[in-house]
Amino acid sequence: MSTAIPFIEDIFSQLQQAANTRILAEIRDGQITGVTGSELLELVRKARTFIASRGLQKGDRCGLLAANSIRWVAMDLALMAEGLIVVPLYSRQAPAELVAMMKDCTPSLICCGDAALRDGIAQAWTEAPPQVLFDDVFAGVDGVQLRRPEVGNESPVTIIYTSGTSGEAKGVILSSANVGFMLDRTAERLSQLMAESSSGAAGPDRIFHYLPFTFAASWIALLTFLKRRSLVTINMDLAKIASDMRAVAPDYFLNVPQLLERMRRAVDEQLWQTGGVAQAIYSRAKGAWARRQEKQVKAGDAMWLGLANRLIFPAIRKKMIGRNLKALICGSAPLSTETQLYFMMLGIRVLQVYGLTETTAICTMDDPNGVDVGRVGPAIAGMEMKLGENDEIVVRGPNVFSGYWKRPEQTADALREGWFHTGDQGEVNAAGNWRIAGRIKNLIILGSGHKISPEPIESAIAKSLPEAQQIVVVGNGRGYLTAIVTGSVSAEKVQAALDIVNPEFPHYKQVRGFVVREEAFSIESGMLTVNGKLKRDVIATRMKDEIEEMYGVRQAV
């Protein structure tokens, strides 16, 4: 099966070598079904013949609107192989937001996973381009000659729309060269992870995957897994992630901090309810572990950690994820140091990754043999990172995108003198490991002139207030900081948390007021991005009255 795109050729070659080996699977209600390399290639062939029959031209955009599935993967590979530009669209996003993106990129065709998704677009956009269902695509078309389009290294293969924390999504153009470079780097790191594992297990890597393929990091991970001939099992029901990951018993998988925080809380709650000797050993071991990190070891700490390592922690690991896990890989947002240390206590490494869609998803990756807790690892080989004005991280290299779709001014602002300006604040230590401090655009400038990154304050409050779903610190142009807290949490508990946290900060970083909102911010409400980040501008606008009330009834201290 021919294609002119080097990384697609490589993936097809690997699938041919895995012709009789299961390469992709789906898990539904604990039942796993899948396809071999040759069966996946046959799905790609059917999709390519259908696409070729539509008379599309090289460089035409095609929307890909569907939930994760084997057929999504085949569709993505087929579109790229035919020289088209894939525009992946998140199936859970509101139709109005999806239509705005499609109007921006003007696709020639929209490939929909099911009729409900197709109908949602049709209702929201009466002048939409043709929409086809996967069922029709994979029926195939007889007698159609596949093309071998001439696709250069700099030719775009996808336009991925960024989350748009300010409310505006921009189309990031990624080229064949961008993707090919990144797949080599990620494959190298995964090879390193598996080579240094002490298990010596033979066979392909076993991977559990639940993050939407429409996210850049998730997509790059998927292509890397195919390149490595790994066995990828796709979660088909987000409500069953916990049971599915145990059934798959993966070697590693990609995560967001939210899931790891949820897993940590679930263990705490279950052992608290169980009580007895197990809970007593667990609680004492946690205290001993915390003191070890702070270098304040007490007599008896080694005994409690030893008991937990023999009796409690192995059972937690097995029940949580299974017995094969080499590491959890985490990206998309900062992971709290406490959560990373918690999993280390259980004997589970958490490897962090940092990057943006504009950097083909990745800038840094933790070294499996040298994790620096609280940091996101060194810059990947072959690209450069440094600090610019206001400690902004700037990047250049083969992973950096060429520009935003039809946005020359924003492209020029982001790409200056050969460097991509990430908008993230950071720092790097002598070992070359980076730490992400926050977003420059999120900086709060008080009326006093003090400049404050809200993320460290929010993280500190969250540590003392685990019942909260989200915490958003506000105060731009005001005399002091206040916070919006979401979730089923009492005002008394919020105040108690602030009483603990505030003394840790100078007076201008202390939170002096708050409001509790029981309903959490969500993607569906438009107050979170599709990968779960806070849309701070949207939140500030929608909660203007509550914010004004916080400042109307209190005086600055």
pLDDT at 507: 84
Q: 403 and 477: one domain?
A: no
Q: 290 and 236: one domain?
A: no
Rounded Cα distance, 186 and 475, in Å: 40
Q: 96 and 129: one domain?
A: yes
Average pLDDT over residues 137-153: 76
Which of 210, 233, 251 is a domain's end point?
A: 251
pLDDT at 148: 66
Q: Are 353 and 362 in contact (CB under 8 A)?
A: yes
Which of 212, 230, 251 is a domain's end point?
A: 251
Please give the distance of CA 39 from its chain centroid, rounded to a whole number.
Answer: 29
At residue 200, does pLDDT exceed 70? no
If one counts every other C-beta atom within 10 angstroms of the C-beta of residue 295, the result is: 6
Q: 310 and 336: one domain?
A: yes
Q: Got the DSSP string for 99-142?
A: HHHHHHH--SEEEESSHHHHHHHHHH-TT---EEEHHHHTT--T
Q: 345 and 475: one domain?
A: no
Q: 131 and 191: one domain?
A: yes
Share of the chain above pLDDT 70, in %: 95
At residue 141, does pLDDT exceed 50? yes
Q: What does pTM read for this prediction? A: 0.85
Packing angle of the helix pair 257-274, 241-248 (nearest 10 deg): 90
Q: 384 and 509: one domain?
A: no
pLDDT at 196: 67
At residue 119, does pLDDT exceed 70? yes
Q: 379 and 511: one domain?
A: no
Please give the distance of CA 66 from its chain centroid, rounded to a whole number.
Answer: 18
- Residue 272 token pair: 């608290």
Assign residue 481 the CATH number of its domain: 3.30.300.30
Which of 395, 412, 440 is a domain's end point?
A: 440
Q: Are 134 and 116 in contact (CB under 8 A)?
A: no
Q: Name the residue range of residue 225's domain.
A: 6-251
Each residue's pLDDT tens digit, 329-366:
998 777 888 899 999 999 999 999 999 999 999 999 99
Assign residue 204 the CATH number of its domain: 3.40.50.12780
pLDDT at 347: 92
Q: 362 and 486: one domain?
A: no
Q: Is 543 helix (H, G, I), strand (E, B) or coil?
A: coil
Q: Report yes or no on 136 lying in a domain.
A: yes
Q: Report yes or no on 344 lying in a domain.
A: yes
Q: pLDDT grade, residue 427 (50/70/90)?
A: very high
pLDDT at 199: 52
Number of domains composing the chain = 3
pLDDT at 557: 36
